[in-house]
């Protein structure tokens, strides 16, 4: 019994080190040196602790990172599943990290852990191992992670901690400063609760809020105004009179807003870009697994979609990421989950306009983790992200 408690305690400590950077950020306590030390300690422990501790550590990591995922289920009428979803994430990541438990050799574990950094379970990519070093003195590239794992695989006491000298090659003391687009961009943050966001009673307030923000931005001489994901919670292309009002205002300011788009019986989560009396759309390319689509075979997908998501997980994706120009400046579109996906940052990308609706998971660490992951991808790819969100964290992310 005492041995099992020891394994659990060591596992809990490992998971706390691995997850601390999220909660430091959440409480406004981020420190680059502490994040560096805790990140290195967590990886060292994953390579050297007992097999049982590895399994428990994976379970705790799954809980600490993703306890909030099931929060959104209450909006589709199956809120009772929320604790089971949380437990499921614990079990999934217990198995994910549990692969390390097949081996005692730290170098084999290091090799496997490096390989796991490229694995995305069910196309869900929010557990990025390198993200633990986002706000630290450690670099974010894969070769740096490989070197870190190689160094930490040594028995450091046996080698008088000399292998740690190699970590100097992984340092990133002075990260590049963010570059900003040569435009005056207003990023709107709203706080519309998810339980009323789609109600008819709330819609007039949302429309009034939108016009007020646009007119205010025009008076303040902004070039662009960006609203959150699904700010207008309807198929905007099906409401030409309303769309025409926005198009008239777009002669004075570029308007970018989240809404829905319907064509040929297909539904899309999109950004509307309205400029100079005309508009275009940018469809979402990377959909949320189990939120906007179910990444399983058709027979299972249809059953889960109809049983647990009220038939709502049926959005269609774009064929590729969308780029658009505002006054000659190129931006890439990203809608919520996309902004934390590597696919969005491929190619010639300098600026991203991202929009989110984080009210699905309020209150939780989800917006904090999302911001860290956007910062991770932004810094790794030298990209500046302009993020407008409902609930939390509108702002420039780098």
Q: Is 366 a catalytic residue?
A: no
Give bridge partners of residue 161 from the DSSP assignment.
Answer: none
Q: Which of 25, 186, 213, 229 is catalytic?
A: 229
Q: CB within 8 A of 237, min separation 6: which ones?
A: 243, 261, 262, 263, 281
Q: Which helix (H) or strand (E) holds 215?
A: helix 203-219
Q: Is 2 a catalytic residue?
A: no
Q: Is 380 a catalytic residue?
A: no
Q: Which of 283, 336, 338, 380 is catalytic?
A: 336
Q: Which among 120, 66, 128, 112 has a CA at the least distance from the CA of 91?
A: 66
Q: Which of 186, 197, 284, 371 is catalytic?
A: 284
> Token pair for residue 390?
């409902």
Q: Which among 58, 364, 351 has a CA at the least distance from the CA of 226?
A: 351
Q: Which helix (H) or strand (E) holds 283?
A: strand 278-283
Report yes or no: 21 and 135 within 8 Å, Cβ to Cβ. yes
Reduce the DSSP state of residue 294 to 3 states and report it.
Answer: coil
Largest interatomic CA distance in the chain: 75
Sheet with 329-335, strands from edge to edge, namely 323-326, 329-335, 351-357, 384-390, 395-397
Which residues participate in catalysis according to the annotation?
A: 229, 284, 336
């Amino acid at each position: 019994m005492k041995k099992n408690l020891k394994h659990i305690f060591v596992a809990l400590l490992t998971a706390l080190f691995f997850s601390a950077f999220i909660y430091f950020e959440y409480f406004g306590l981020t420190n680059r040196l502490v994040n560096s030390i805790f990140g290195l300690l967590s990886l060292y422990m994953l390579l050297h602790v007992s097999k049982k501790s590895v399994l428990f550590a994976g379970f705790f990591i799954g809980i600490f990172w993703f306890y909030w995922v099931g929060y959104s289920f209450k909006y589709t009428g199956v809120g009772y599943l929320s604790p089971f979803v949380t437990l499921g994430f614990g079990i999934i990541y217990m198995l994910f990290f549990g692969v390390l438990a097949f081996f005692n050799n730290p170098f084999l574990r290091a090799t496997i852990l490096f390989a796991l950094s490229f694995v995305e379970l069910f196309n869900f990519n929010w557990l990025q191992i390198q993200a633990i070093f986002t706000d630290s003195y450690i670099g974010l590239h894969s070769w740096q992670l490989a070197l870190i794992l190689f160094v930490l695989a040594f028995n450091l006491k046996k080698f008088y901690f000399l292998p740690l000298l190699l970590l100097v090659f992984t340092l990133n003391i002075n990260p590049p400063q963010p570059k900003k687009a040569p435009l005056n961009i207003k990023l709107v943050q709203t706080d519309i609760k998810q339980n009323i966001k789609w109600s008819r009673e709330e819609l007039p307030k949302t429309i009034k809020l939108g016009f007020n923000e646009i007119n205010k931005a025009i008076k303040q001489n902004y070039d662009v105004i960006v609203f959150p994901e699904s700010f207008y919670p309807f198929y905007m292309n099906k409401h030409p009179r309303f769309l025409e009002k926005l198009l008239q205002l777009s002669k004075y300011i570029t308007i970018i807003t989240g809404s829905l788009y319907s064509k040929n019986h297909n539904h899309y989560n999109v950004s509307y870009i309205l400029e100079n009396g005309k508009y275009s759309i940018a469809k979402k390319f990377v959909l949320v697994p189990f939120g906007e689509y179910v990444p399983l075979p058709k027979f299972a997908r249809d059953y889960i979609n109809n049983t647990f998501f009220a038939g709502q997980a049926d959005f269609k994706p774009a064929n590729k990421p969308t780029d658009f120009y505002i006054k000659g400046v190129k931006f890439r579109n990203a809608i919520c989950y996309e902004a934390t996906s590597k696919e969005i940052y491929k190619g010639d990308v300098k600026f991203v306009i991202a929009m989110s609706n984080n009210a699905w998971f309020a209150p939780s660490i989800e917006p904090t983790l999302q911001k860290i992951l956007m910062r991770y991808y932004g810094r790794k790819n030298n990209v500046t992200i302009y993020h407008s969100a409902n609930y939390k964290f509108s702002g420039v992310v780098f």
